Structure 1
Amino acid sequence: MKDTVVKPRRRGRMRLLIGTACAAALVVSGMVIAPSAHAEADRYLSSNQTGTHNGYFFSFWKDSGNASMTLRENGRYSSSWDRSTNNWVGGKGWATGTRRTVSYSGSYNPGNNNTYLALYGWTRNQLIEYYVVENFGSYNPSSGAQRMGSVTTDGGVYDILRSQRVNAPSIDGTQTFWQYWSVRQQKRTGGTITTANHFDAWARAGMQLGSNHSYQVMATEGYQSQGSSDINVWEGGSGNPGPSPTGNPGNPGNPGQSNCTAVLSAGQQFGDRFNLNVSVQNVSNWTVTLSLHGGQSLQNSWNASVSGTTGNITARPNGSGNNFGVTIMHGGNWTWPTVTCRT
């Protein structure tokens, strides 16, 4: 079958929140592409693209600003964005959705911002947009939807909801369609999503998916916000096929139990540099690594012992608590560093 390329729409939750749509996304329908025999190098994205990378389908879209995504080994991607971006979304997964079991791990830094992390997809032959929301920031993406019940799966309780879009952009142009939601009550960033359990729970609530599945990705999205993520996704309920992007060993058997979390938030911004605040959570003995992008360098730091000036810089406690800050000379690149944390 010839692949279909469509430029449809603003993303679902953001449409639910603001009631307008002007986004673009590219959709590829077809068979899942097997992993490449030769690993591809990291690929940096700052403009709208879809395709495959190291055997995984990827999608990246933004309408403006400094959002970016780096495709890494296997199903891993990292992203960062700031308030210059109105709306962006991106992730890795599969060109064709199904009842697969999906596992993921990594770091997600929403702060008190309008952003979320979700398994996201579409069906045709009934046109449906669906979300399994694992984590979110200041706005619950189901706030404007109709509650249809709940489902307990994968160690947590998810609220089941639906909302209808009338004459709105979709993967097939302007249409009227339903959005289906499973929103996890206990937020997490890592674990297993048994997709079939959500599909079946939606069906029991009278929410039938279409028979023709389009793409299915583990996506990060932000709207008029700032944040970062570093996510690794793979198929199956246990075992991480690639290195954990958090720097911690993945533990899919005990979802969401990450010992160390580092959350970035914005500080002051100047013409040639910007400040970032880092809050370390859950542990007091930690090592935080900030991976600076090309052209960036560390100018200053406070409340931590920091080593390095370019590339990967490392911070450790110095007796000033679990909150520290850095000043980054941007060198023409305003993208926030990728942050990882380990004990």
Structure 2
Amino acid sequence: MRYLIWFLLIAQISCKQEQKEIVQIPHDSFKLEIIDTVFYDFPYFKFASKFKSKLLGYNPFNNDVIIFDIRSLELSYFNNFGSGPEEYLLLYNNLGFTENQEIIISGIKDFKLFDINGNFIKSFIFNRESTRAPVLKPFGIDNSIFGINLPQGMSSNPDFFRKEHDLLIEFDTEKESYNLISSFPFKKLNDLEGYYLNNGLIISDIYDKKLYLMDQNETVLRRYDLKSKKEEEPIVLDLEYFEPQLLPFGKKYTSEQLKFLSAMNSSLYDIFIQENLVFVIYDRAYTENEIQDYYKDISKMDNKNGPPIRYVLHVSDKEGNRVKNDIIIPLEFGRPIFACKDYVLTLIEGSNNNLLLKLKFS
């Protein structure tokens, strides 16, 4: 399998093209089919937002905004960095869409609005003190821009996790003012005895005028109805291989210890809401014995990132009922970046090029 992937990568180095021949990949509990491969000749890009048939991302090396069409696998991009009143400085997750598929970029001082071709439309100024940072996952509905305002910095201090943090905010583009919709502790644990190695919120784009989000270390799916401005009853998902590890407060860890602990800790990576189904991408934690077996190979001892991430795909209905057994994505397929009921897109990142695979479930 590994040689097949590298063959596909080498075969497409000279240009962009699609591989239409279906390649079947056997697996213990399911079968994946490679139905398309597309090669892109720039070194790195990171998808930050998803809406209907398009993914929105950016290339941090040159500040390109990337628009990727899921159906056609075609890609376009634009760059307004340093080019006048519409210039921006991109950060991960500060890109979003409006319902009309216009592009929103959230900065330190304002929102900027572009059409789907990258033409600047207008900007909205906001009060920096009310947000303290760019609003993440902006999404435009009617005359409002909704987004996430995360707390600044992470801490292993228990007091940090018990504080109230602004979460979901609404920006009125006509009045150029904010409304706070929801605020709650970053971790709702009254008897908190430890902290997680990775802390953060995983946020889905808005679907059917609802926002979905999960804590990176929990299986609870939170839903916000943006019409009523209220949080709906949260749902607990049954993630088959999910094993987060709580670390004690006050203990200092070496970089080597953190490398091992990270591999032994499950974390969420992304949420997709598509056609009334919930897709969650997370990683399967390693056991201590698996890590020891991995490092028996002396050549791997200098790997500062630890063992490779074992991505898992979970599919539930919108009531939290698991649709199928969780699927472990083979390492050779790279990093999953999108999922729907028919296929999953994965990205194999090279030093100078990227290979995108479109995998069909059987």
User: Which structure dedicates a bigger proportion of its chain to helix?
Assistant: 2
User: Which structure dedicates a bigger proportion of its chain to strand?
Assistant: 1
Shorter-chain TM-score category?
A: under 0.3
Larger relative contact order (CA 8 Å, sep ≥ 6): 1
- Normalising to structure 2: TM-score of the pair? 0.26
